[in-house]
């Protein structure tokens, strides 16, 4: 498979796609403290901690860890039992990662004269640092990494550009998308996209996804992905969807179409197969049955439950 087959996009569109994502990220993103540093040690600690822990929970542990061991040299000189005890006390899971992090700090001290290696291949030589973590540190500390391809990124690429569920295709597509020499901002941005807009339950409009203009899933309404299987047939039946509309409206006084739709179907997209016209049809059926009231207001269709 060639690069073109993996990602069917011309150079002009590619430039627009890149600019849109970076601008979206730079305008607003989640404020994690490790995004404000280019210190490889601080970034390595954040990456190791976040492997099995939600990012919001990592913040306090990361700050406490760096208060205690501010540099790789400080960590290398620490008693390993103290590092493991810290890991356990902060419920970070898998204490072996604490041992590996301590040993990696000693490698930096003893084998690299206290200076972190800078490339993904070199960073992979550190204890407990696999290819993904090595690439993340190279990207965020030295702006010297390859395109990150994690579960979130695969989901974004699968939906946005209709890539096949194939690791090689994801890697080629991700590499082509990333602008040369911008791994720091790009990898942060595309992971942010997968984390806040293109989650398993997408929030395309709510999060202002910058790729809606080009997104295959947004156009078709098919939001399946490698980690989001196709909706089972019984759940997609019209009867099931009518029930979801009624259940949702029980919680709210009223909802406009684009507020109601995502609460009824994960793959709702305003202009897609399961979009506004599809939802209007459900509401018309429910209105005829006397269950739902539907009215036009300020250009929107607004639905409410008849009580």
Q: Residues with catalytic annotation?
A: 47
* Nearest residue to 306 (alpha-carbon basis) of 278, 239, 294: 294
Cβ atoms of 65 and 34 closer than 8 Å: no
Select from 66, 226, 255, 210 the least CA-distant residue to 162. 226
Q: How far is CA 285 from the centre of its chain?
A: 37
Angle at 276 between CA 29 and CA 263, to 5 degrees: 55
Do 2 and 164 touch, CB atoms closer than 8 A?
no
Instruction: Give the helix ranges, DSSP H, for 113-150.
Output: 120-123, 131-142
> What 3-state DSSP class applies to 67?
helix
* C-beta atoms surrounding 77 within 10 Å: 12
Helices then strands, counting H and E runs in the chain, come out as 16, 3
**Minimal CA–CA distance to 257: which of 282, 240, 285?**
282
Element (H, E) at 127: none
Asked if 146 contacts 124 with a C-beta cutoff of 8 angstroms, the reply is: no
CA distance 106 to 307: 68
Give dist(CA 188, CA 127) in Å, integer: 24
Distance separating the N- and C-terminal Cα atoms of the chain: 58
């Amino acid at each position: 498979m060639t690069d073109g087959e993996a990602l069917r996009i011309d150079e002009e569109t590619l430039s627009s796609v890149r600019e849109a994502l970076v601008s979206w990220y730079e305008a607003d993103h989640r404020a994690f403290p490790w995004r404000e540093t280019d210190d490889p040690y601080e970034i390595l600690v954040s990456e190791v901690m976040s492997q099995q822990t939600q990012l919001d929970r990592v913040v306090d542990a990361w700050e406490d860890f760096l208060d205690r061991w501010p540099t790789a040299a400080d960590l290398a000189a620490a008693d390993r039992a103290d590092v493991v005890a810290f890991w356990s006390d902060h419920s970070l899971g898998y204490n072996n990662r604490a041992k590996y992090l301590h040993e990696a700090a000693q490698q930096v001290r003893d084998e690299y004269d206290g200076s972190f290696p800078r490339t993904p291949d070199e960073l992979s030589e550190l204890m407990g640092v696999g290819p993904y973590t090595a690439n993340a540190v190279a990207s965020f500390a030295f702006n010297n990494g390859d395109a990150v391809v994690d579960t979130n990124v695969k989901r974004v690429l699968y939906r946005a550009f209709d890539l096949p569920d194939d690791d090689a295709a994801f890697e080629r597509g991700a590499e082509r998308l990333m602008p040369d020499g911008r791994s720091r901002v790009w990898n942060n941005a595309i992971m942010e996209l997968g984390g806040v807009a293109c989650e398993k339950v997408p929030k395309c409009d709510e999060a202002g996804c910058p790729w809606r203009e080009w997104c295959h899933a947004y156009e078709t309404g098919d939001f399946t992905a490698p980690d989001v299987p196709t909706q089972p047939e019984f759940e997609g039946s019209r009867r099931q969807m009518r029930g979801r509309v009624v259940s949702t409206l029980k919680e709210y006084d009223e909802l406009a179409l684009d507020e109601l739709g995502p609460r009824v179907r994960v793959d709702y997209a305003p202009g897609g197969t399961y979009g506004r016209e599809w939802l209007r049809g459900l509401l018309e059926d429910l209105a005829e049955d006397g269950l739902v009231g539907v009215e036009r207001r300020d250009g929107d269709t607004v639905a409410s439950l008849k009580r």
